[in-house]
Structure 1
């Protein structure tokens, strides 16, 4: 099946939708309340994490060069209480303005095996915000699914960006082909785990008669798929068959 090809406008529209939803959820949660999907974090930690990423990315895309930055995101010494959310709002607004104004082809560093261009960051920030919006809503027991097209792109991002960059959670080598199916988005993916490496197979060139000998199959809606890949939910909420141990080789974050 053809893969979604996101655009700057698509990702910024997603960022504009999930940002306010994140703020609404955080405003309802106790600042020191737990975030069940991020057990070591409070609500304020979640605000600090996302806002500091916004600030750091704004610095990366604003340099106009592809060299790696020397500074890392900093979450220490940030405001607490009601001021934390106002600080987050400022960083969110500034990031949106920066990404909206920049040509996606402008040079900008990223950590993945992708072209070093600004185009990497609207996608990354849209998906980062969507997952943390879900985290924030879960903290007030009102988590809503990630929009299907965005979630489908999030599955693709895990497979074409995070795993090839070596950012999987489990270092244990695994071998075999896995098929993922997002039924609500009309998307599927075949990937081959090669020890600590991974190859995303091009489904546009796969014939219906081809047998890829997939050792594991996962089917569900796109939101549940991407949340499972990010370790927010268990794979057993999806329809799973075959060698389920392979699926731990897909978790990132």
Structure 2
């Protein structure tokens, strides 16, 4: 087993994903009514989805190239929304092309603020832009046409991001008072993850390559499925019941970030 070995994800990998997932998002929303509901984002319409993703691009563009790790000044969400009367798709197109060209031009090791307990470099935003676009591409397709699975290696990196970024940053949607060890397995990539839920509400990602048979790491819950279904379950887009489950399923809910 590859265990906790990360995908060989880097700037080029994430930009390639962004260049694929962006047009797929655009295609899904092009002919959809702006007031059509998005079932995977309760309360949202297609217009909300377009606005949210364009707003995210605008926020990234506002700070990613500053070359500093200090938090950007607080801004109003309206600053990144389409101007009154603007065509949402034309506005989105412009933001998407800007974020592609900006991230392509930036060194991934250049200093840049982020909200997670990890290296403050531009690389964070290469990865974040790829996965934000991917998840919302799935949302858009789910709302308008048949949603296509996420490419396996990209999805596995998305699982990595949830476990090494979102959860350690405290961005959990599930219960935080459960204790135990959860095992996740991607059946289409021969990848596995072990996550310890701690009594203080934190999480610890365990390196399966260094664990010994005598280590106390017996899983209390296990979920196995495709990398795409694992990532989508962690984001709350599909239920864990789509996966092969064993053990205390409540522990899986504690890993949700969306």
- For the criterion TM > 0.5, the same-fold answer is yes
Distance 1:101 1:179 in 2: 38
Displacement of 1:142: 1.3
Verify: 1:38 aligned to 2:44, yes or no.
Answer: no
Corresponding residue number in structure 2 for 1:28: 31
Verify: 1:227 aligned to 2:216, yes or no.
Answer: no
Verify: 1:60 aligned to 2:92, yes or no.
Answer: no
Deviations 1:25-64 (A, max 9, x none): 0112111100010011110100000001001101121211
Displacement of 1:161: 0.3
Please state whether the residue corresponding to 2:218 is helix, strand or coil: coil
Deviations 1:161-211 (A, max 9, x none): 000000001343110001000111221000100031000001221357766
Higher deviation after alignment, 159-168 or 58-67: 58-67
TM-score by length of 1: 0.95
Deviations 1:126-180 (A, max 9, x none): 0000000000000113100011000000001000000000000134311000100
Corresponding residue number in structure 1 for 2:159: 155
Corresponding residue number in structure 1 for 2:254: 249
TM-score by length of 2: 0.93
Please state whether the residue corresponding to 2:209 is helix, strand or coil: helix
Displacement of 1:235: 0.2
Corresponding residue number in structure 1 for 2:144: 140
Distance 2:8 2:238 in 1: 26
Corresponding residue number in structure 1 for 2:17: 14
Corresponding residue number in structure 2 for 1:181: 185
Aligned residues: 253
Alignment of 1:34-183 (within 5 A): 34-72=37-75, 74-75=77-78, 78-79=82-83, 83-183=87-187
Q: 1:53 to 1:188 in 2, by over 3 A?
A: same
Higher deviation after alignment, 191-200 or 202-211: 202-211
Unaligned runs of 5+ in 2: none
Q: 1:75 to 1:136 in 2, by over 3 A?
A: farther
Please state whether the residue corresponding to 2:125 is helix, strand or coil: helix
Q: 1:43 to 1:92 in 2, by over 3 A?
A: same
Distance 1:142 1:75 in 2: 32
Q: 1:146 to 1:239 in 2, by over 3 A?
A: same
Distance 2:85 2:34 in 1: 7
Distance 2:179 2:151 in 1: 31
